[in-house]
Structure 1
Amino acid sequence: MKQTFVYLTVFLVASNYILSSCASSKGEKQTAQRPRILISTDIGGTDPDDNQSMAHFLMYCNKFDTEGLISSPSFGSGSQEEILRMIALYEQDLPKLKKHATGWAEPDYLRSITKQGRKGTVPYCGYSTATQGSEWIVKCARRVDERPLWVLVWGGLDDLAQALHDAPDIADKIRVYWIGGPNKKWSTNSYAYIVEHFPHLWFIENNASYRGFIGQKKVKDEFNAGYYDSYIRGGGKLGADFINYLNGNCKLGDTPSLLYMMDGDPDNPMRESWGGSFAPLTHSPRVIIDHPTTAADTVPIYSIMEFRIKGPKIDIPADSICITLTIGKQQWGGYYLGNGKYAVRHATYYTGTLPYTITSNIPEIPVWKGEITVANMWPGVSCHTDYVLGNTWYTDKPDLSLFENEIQGAHTVSRWRNIVMADWGNRWNWLKE
């Protein structure tokens, strides 16, 4: 079910903002103190919307106690230098921001908490060696504070998995909001490690709802395709930089994680909020495939597909890449697990029937050719191979009335988008003075 918001004037937008903010929390308490957050991002990689969300964060950073900015590009060329470049833009705009609000993070402080995480994917086991980023997650989580550390993940989970592996005691000190979906395919191994070994983690797995924030980006109005010209153009150094990402068209796919922390009570993920409303997830689907499949074989969208192949016992280190899965025009490395067992994991946010092949330079391993049908049902019916989760794991609501353009839970985010963008527009105006 779709809901259309019509705003005749800026006054009506502001009025609706006040009323809807009260309604969104359904009478629950508003955030009484600034939340502790740490952002893990693949900024500078394959998707420029992380730069957009970083600009949004910097313009609202007075709402948070920010403890870390981690560059975690499991795929692509992202690095901490891109975060530092964005901080430099913020530094030039900060005097104007300070005229309107207090509590802004100083640029040198933000630089001091910017750390480099893992570059490249982790092996089958889901972890590798500690990084500056994973060690920083551990350090922040172990600080004595009555507030939990909210880890907002905008990319892969590799540094989070590494931190949990190296310091399992932090599991009850952190809460995770993950923008999953396409990010899941880049971190299937680290995701599998986390769900198997930390099923009781407090975790929001947002695979689809966040897309409610980008679903109307082609609509030619002031809050969508016209937003740059209506609000951003002329807005300081951050505004001048914004045009470099998607031609200034606002995607902001990672921003719902920030919005969730800004609106209402983040301790209750089932409430309505700017960043979505979620349902408990009791199992995370995993499908083990030990033979070539056909189009008649169906898996849930976002599920972990684990292809297992038998082959020769060879003398190479366990977790050595030696098979290749080609699916959806992309290639994924598979591993030798030892004792003649080989495996490769995959996850996708596409639906429909996908052809695939599995090949290897090891002659004794036969070529697999098959098809698999991905159904738009998450998490779907439980299976004995699924990962069983505790009672603090949440995901996109399955209510059909909350689907938009076949995207599960999208309406829990899209319904607040115009209000959010109007509020951000006020801050862009600060930078035009």
Structure 2
Amino acid sequence: MKRKFFMVWFCFTVITFWAQNPEADKPRILISTDIGGTDPDDNQSMAHLLMYSDLFKIEGLVSSPSYGNGSKEDILKMISLYEKDFPTFQQYKSDLAKPDYLRSITKQGQWGNAPYKGYNTTTQGSDWIVTCAKRKTSQPLWVLVWGGLEDLAQALHDAPEIHSRIKVYWIGGPNKKWSANSYAYIVKNFPDLWFIEVNSSYYGFFSNNSALDTINSSNYYEHHIDGAGHLGRDFKNYYNGEIKMGDTPSLLYLMKGNPDDPTGESWGGSFTTLKRSPRIVYTGTTTMKDTVAFCSILEFHFKGPKYNIPVDSICFWMEVPYGKSAQKWPGYYLGNGNYAIRYIPKKAETLKYNFSSQIPEIDGLHGTIVVDNLWPGKKHSTDYKLGNNWFTDRSEKNLYDGRIQGGKTILKWRDEVLTDWAKRWDWLKKKE
């Protein structure tokens, strides 16, 4: 009799708890985004997030533009568009995030990349990451990074104890190139952080390379988004409506699959453990005989005069051809006549570079290096060692989407994802 009473009481307690805490089973997420920068795919991903906000407990929206002129105003603009469609959405999903709440958790983070040490100063965004991570709950905070790692690195520097309370899914690749110093700081100081580093698989979401893909990203707007509310009209402003959404796999990972098992199947990919982060240190320039894997940390160290200037002062530049122009990357003074720069190549190529500086020992140096297409590539004695909870793109040949390592682990779900999203766009069309 007592056992029967206990079971009735237990069931009543559980039902009451879930009734009073409808978001208790939703993943806690914080988005760090470079929206408003040079790549408008973040606007597309933000529209997707807002339309699926009923599936998450969104705790933060942080503007982290390591490159470009983005700001939190770009996030607020998307929320305002969402607000205009919100009454229609509520007819179908009553627990979508409220616009005013989303505004209250939108924060400004770091502008520009971190210096050589990997962090800079506390920002509103980095401080908010710490605040959210320290909340008393048994659930981890999922930090989904759509841009640079500057605010995450700053948060970990300011409050290293949060590393055991967060799980990170990072869209790396080109973002890793801009965030080389912050990335190096994190892998060196927090190797046991729970971290999914996606350097290539996410391309599979918009590649259109495979027979597995039957929904064409070029005509998806015409068939499913055109005429669908304010968000739909705005969507045309990004890549003329063509689907890219390179950051969306971070959300998809939490929408279908077991997020506690990165090696399993999920809408956001399937990954393998990464025991080392490749890092190659050169004390001079390189030649065509030198080969590295894409997304590896390249460090160039030079000797020069002992200046009486602050450590982390920018003293030279590395220029890398980019289209018809060149991209410039800062090099730093480490003290005692030592100078260094980090660079992370984002793709397979034969990379040429040159250095410019007022320091004669560095000015005019130039070189070439071959970047290959298999991550993480060969082992080096200077690699950063990682713990058991770091994951990355799978390298099996049958999972390549063309030249994209691991691409098929996301591409295989793309039709299902976009078909599901089309239903939500259709809600807005019915209203119109």
Match for 2:75 among 74, 78, 83? Answer: 83
Pairwise CA distance, 1:377: 1.5
Do structure 1's residue 228 and structure 2's residue 225 form an aligned pair?
no
Do structure 1's residue 279 and structure 2's residue 276 form an aligned pair?
no
SS of aligned partner of 1:395: strand
Amino acid of the residue matched to residue 354 of structure 2? T
CA contact (8 A) 1:222 1:230 kept: no
Do structure 1's residue 385 and structure 2's residue 385 form an aligned pair?
no
Alignment match, 1:203: 195
For residues 71-92 of structure 1, give each alpha carbon's deviation from its aligned partner in whole angstroms, at most 9, with x where no partner exists.
0001100000010010001111
Distance 1:218 1:266 in 2: 26
Do structure 1's residue 263 and structure 2's residue 233 form an aligned pair?
no
Alignment match, 2:43: 51
For residues 156-181 of structure 1, give each alpha carbon's deviation from its aligned partner in whole angstroms, at most 9, with x where no partner exists.
00000000000001000000000000
Tell me the matched-pair count.
403
SS of aligned partner of 1:194: helix
Do structure 1's residue 422 and structure 2's residue 419 form an aligned pair?
yes
Distance 1:354 1:112 in 2: 44
What TM-score do you get using the length of structure 1 for normalisation?
A: 0.91
Q: Identity percentage over the alignment? A: 59
CA contact (8 A) 2:271 2:393 kept: yes
Distance 1:410 1:221 in 2: 16
Match for 1:95 among 87, 94, 114? Answer: 87
CA contact (8 A) 2:169 2:250 kept: yes
Distance 2:402 2:250 in 1: 21
Pairwise CA distance, 1:224: 1.7
Do structure 1's residue 129 and structure 2's residue 121 form an aligned pair?
yes
Alignment match, 2:165: 173
Q: Unpaired runs of 5+ in structure 1?
A: 1-30
CA contact (8 A) 1:404 1:411 kept: yes
CA contact (8 A) 2:355 2:362 kept: no
CA contact (8 A) 2:209 2:402 kept: no
Distance 2:209 2:141 in 1: 32
Distance 1:364 1:353 in 2: 25
Seen in structure 2, the aligned counterparts of structure 1 residues 300 and 177 have a Cα distance that, compared at 3 Å, is: same
For residues 113-132 of structure 1, give each alpha carbon's deviation from its aligned partner in whole angstroms, at most 9, with x where no partner exists.
00000001110000011000
* RCO comparison, higher one (Cα < 8 Å, 6+): 1
Amino acid of the residue matched to residue 221 of structure 2? Y
CA contact (8 A) 2:201 2:405 kept: yes
Amino acid of the residue matched to residue 110 of structure 1? L
Pairwise CA distance, 1:404: 1.1
Do structure 1's residue 147 and structure 2's residue 136 form an aligned pair?
no
Q: CA RMSD in A?
A: 1.5
Greater C-alpha Rg: 2
Seen in structure 2, the aligned counterparts of structure 1 residues 217 and 378 have a Cα distance that, compared at 3 Å, is: closer
Amino acid of the residue matched to residue 238 of structure 1? L
Do structure 1's residue 407 and structure 2's residue 404 form an aligned pair?
yes
CA contact (8 A) 1:299 1:374 kept: yes
Match for 1:360 among 357, 362, 377? Answer: 357
Amino acid of the residue matched to residue 39 of structure 1? I
CA contact (8 A) 1:217 1:224 kept: no
Amino acid of the residue matched to residue 330 of structure 2? G
Distance 1:359 1:299 in 2: 23
CA contact (8 A) 1:221 1:227 kept: no
SS of aligned partner of 2:89: helix
CA contact (8 A) 1:223 1:422 kept: no
Distance 1:323 1:234 in 2: 51
Match for 1:65 among 57, 60, 67? Answer: 57
Pairwise CA distance, 1:261: 0.6
Alignment match, 1:248: 241
Do structure 1's residue 192 and structure 2's residue 184 form an aligned pair?
yes
Match for 2:346 among 340, 344, 349? Answer: 349
Pairwise CA distance, 1:218: 11
CA contact (8 A) 1:223 1:421 kept: no
CA contact (8 A) 1:218 1:225 kept: no
For residues 120-149 of structure 1, give each alpha carbon's deviation from its aligned partner in whole angstroms, at most 9, with x where no partner exists.
111000001100000000000000011000
Pairwise CA distance, 1:289: 1.1
SS of aligned partner of 1:96: helix
Alignment match, 1:105: 97
Pairwise CA distance, 1:362: 1.9
Pairwise CA distance, 1:34: 0.6
Amino acid of the residue matched to residue 201 of structure 1? L
SS of aligned partner of 2:406: coil
- 1:306-345 map, 5 Å: 306-328=299-321, 329-345=326-342
SS of aligned partner of 1:432: helix
Pairwise CA distance, 1:32: 8.8
Q: Which moved more, 1:68-77 or 1:220-229?
A: 220-229
Q: Which moved more, 1:359-368 or 1:126-135?
A: 359-368
For residues 366-386 of structure 1, give each alpha carbon's deviation from its aligned partner in whole angstroms, at most 9, with x where no partner exists.
421110000111111221100
Amino acid of the residue matched to residue 88 of structure 1? S
SS of aligned partner of 1:335: strand
Alignment match, 2:391: 394
Distance 2:209 2:154 in 1: 35
CA contact (8 A) 2:298 2:343 kept: yes
For residues 272-313 of structure 1, give each alpha carbon's deviation from its aligned partner in whole angstroms, at most 9, with x where no partner exists.
110000000000000101111111100111000001111110
Do structure 1's residue 299 and structure 2's residue 292 form an aligned pair?
yes
Pairwise CA distance, 1:221: 6.5
SS of aligned partner of 2:429: coil
Distance 1:170 1:365 in 2: 40
Pairwise CA distance, 1:363: 2.9
What TM-score do you get using the length of structure 2 for normalisation?
A: 0.91
- 1:4-23 map, 5 Å: none
